[in-house]
Amino acid sequence: MQSNLKNQSIVLKSLKEIHLIEYNKVINIQFQKDLFIGDKGATVISNFIEQIQQLESLKLVFSQNNNLSSLGLSKISQSIGKQNNIIDLSIEIQGLNEIDTNGIKSFGEIFEKLKILKSLSFCICRNNILDGISFLMEGIKTLINLETLILSFQRNVNLGSSFMKKVESALQFIPNLKQLNISLGWQSKIGKEGAQSLGVILQNQKNLEFLIINIGSDNNITGDGLNYISQGLKFLTKLKNLNLYIGCHIARLIK
């Protein structure tokens, strides 16, 4: 079925309702919590995405308790990888799903196919994804046309300084970001070294206009770490809006 609508924003209470969604260039779907769609549901979603022609914008939100596994997420990512007209992609996976390294890796592998992607939001909460970060960042660094990047890893504890180093390594290939949002939950433990990597990221992203940094408590960032971040901010001469929260340290700047 075809539609002239430019946008659809749908909250699904049942997987069966996906068949009621019309094919459009802009799709926004949220799966309510406790649907337990599992791998079977992921196959349905994957097939739905493949049938959309000229898809430009896709947002998928999987709320808690949907039993989405890495196998299911891989099927979905493969379908997204076939949509080479996408310019805006948002994936949010909330807690109590079953995502691990393989699920995250699947997205890293398809990003290089999305040549014209300008906006990426990747948010995952309370899933065992730490070992998959390297694969994810290897994919992100191929998105050289990105202007907006949102990375949110809430309640994925003990990310460590190596996490920020991987983000730093990836973003050096994407110099034209205008908006950057990095949000980490409590107990991220990125430490002074992670804060140093964040400072380097800021130093290299001289075209940033909007910046949000949100790092929860128990992050092991010392005074030296805060200084690294502060030094990086000095390079952002085009910045219009800054929201910075690090543990109990909060700063906000609007030009």
Of 150, 101, 158, 94, whose CA–CA distance to 126 is shortest?
Answer: 94
Q: For residue 90, what is the enclosing H or E element?
A: strand 88-93
Q: Per residue of the chain (255 residues), give pLDDT as tens.
A: 233 334 455 556 555 556 556 667 888 888 777 777 778 888 888 998 998 888 999 999 887 767 778 888 899 999 999 999 999 999 998 766 667 777 788 888 999 999 899 999 998 876 556 677 888 999 999 999 999 999 998 765 567 788 899 999 999 999 899 999 999 877 778 889 999 999 999 999 999 999 999 988 878 888 898 999 999 999 999 999 999 998 755 444 444
Beta strand pairing status for 241-246 and 210-215?
A: parallel
The reported pTM is 0.87
Residue 119 neighbours by CB under 8 Å, 6+ apart: 87, 88, 89, 90, 146, 147, 148, 149
Question: What CATH code would you report for 10-246?
Answer: 3.80.10.10
Length of the chain measured in residues: 255
d(CA 203, CA 154): 25
- H-state helical runs in 52-185: 70-81, 101-110, 133-140, 160-171
pLDDT value of position 18: 64
Domain edges within the chain: 10-246
- One-letter-per-residue 3-state SS of 168-207: HHHHCCCCCCCEEEEEECCCCCCHHHHHHHHHHHHHHCCC
